[in-house]
Structure 1
């Protein structure tokens, strides 16, 4: 972790479970199934520790029925254990930026008791509505402080961690631009499941709002053309090339 000599923003990646779903869930019309990671990021800023998403809950460990048939959550893969493995106390996490509140993105929130959750207002309201079974309030409605935002939000006011709306997958999906010493990262989550999603403007077979989803992909495309490194939300091939649990150097990652 950070030493007294290190300045700026440090970025780390973790896998916190996998899920197996039809490939069309990620790319409309594609056959077969895909086993994809639940991707989590730690952003170490001089003013605080921030997580972007928290993966699956540890309640899935050992589960063989229901969602346990498609969710693979090994013991020790939860975000709390991932943080402890790099000497980070989960109780010291200041903020959780949930891209959205689906079970593979907010499942570890309960392990971070002192964190403030940052979520777009439409996402919070929709998650509480009970209209979509991909949300489970046991993951996110925990009494933690919740900061509801609408649109773009510069977390520390210095341009290094900027949250922006990427609606379409859900009503209030959001992504994050992170400026590090080695470049700008865009943590896309489910507004861009695969590299092919962006290369081909290829949408999934389900969207809360198709027009918004396409617009979010267009936003990511502009950022990628400007030189940002996009982290695709569920791309197993791309993710296999992302170093885990160590400071990321964007210059060493696969071409965006």
Structure 2
């Protein structure tokens, strides 16, 4: 079984030290904040939701600081631009619950949030500023999974535990009409990360991060296309008209 379509969405931009993505690298890097719409015969899925309302600014106004989120880049507006009602999303799969991946959860209010139990539990007790509880604990229905999980039971959207960046990080293996695609989330920020097996300058667990990166690299070696989590060069090949504001 394959999904009907996989559509990448640009839901904001971040400008951070490059070492945030690959340890030891100098300077800064402006990176996309992705989300993905997955059309399946049994319901629409959103993988990650981008940045949320607390970072939103009116479209066309100047960027201030390291977060760039124009109103029309919020995931609900991205969906509407495709003719998709945000309330029609059946499942929202969060790779993890940091603000650039779960901040937009509130924009798809009727979706059931699918997250690893380890991530859900950790996010509620962590003092990491990247977690903002009101953004992910919104009162939406939550499906807590543990380990590998076949979302529709037909092999088309398979969730893969890829801990390391956070305790309960997960990636997704999506079977599309043109082949398997791996949505890495922050388990692999840049193509260079996988090519050189290099970690960011911060992780919850370096050893687990390295193992997860190897898992994803093995899928690439087996022929899957890898969609790297925050790679601006790769992203331009998916969304050639997209650019930071």
- Within 1, Cα distance between the matches of 2:4 and 2:208? 30
Partner of 1:254: none
Partner of 1:253: none
SS at match of 2:184: strand
Quote the offset at 1:131 in angstroms. 1.9
Residue of structure 1 aligned with 2:15, choices 13, 20, 24: 20
Describe the superposition over 1:105-162 as per-residue Cα deviations: whole angstroms up to 9, x where unpaired: 0111001111000000110011111421100012111110111111000000000000
Partner of 1:149: 145
Quote the offset at 1:61 in angstroms. 2.0
Residue 197 in 1 paired to residue 193 in 2?
yes
Residue 101 in 1 paired to residue 101 in 2?
no
Contact 1:21 1:70 in 2 (8 A): yes
Residue 45 in 1 paired to residue 69 in 2?
no
- Within 1, Cα distance between the matches of 2:173 and 2:152? 13
- Within 2, Cα distance between the matches of 1:68 and 1:209? 32
- Within 2, Cα distance between the matches of 1:36 and 1:126? 26
Aligned-pair Cα RMSD in Å: 1.6
Describe the superposition over 1:74-112 as per-residue Cα deviations: whole angstroms up to 9, x where unpaired: 121000000000110000100000000000001110011
Structure 1, gaps ≥5 residues long: 1-6, 246-256
Structure 1 length-normalised TM: 0.89
Structure 2 length-normalised TM: 0.93
Q: How many equivalent pairs are there?
A: 236
Partner of 1:3: none
Q: Which runs of 4+ in 1 moved over 6 A?
A: none
Residue 10 in 1 paired to residue 5 in 2?
yes
Contact 1:9 1:160 in 2 (8 A): no
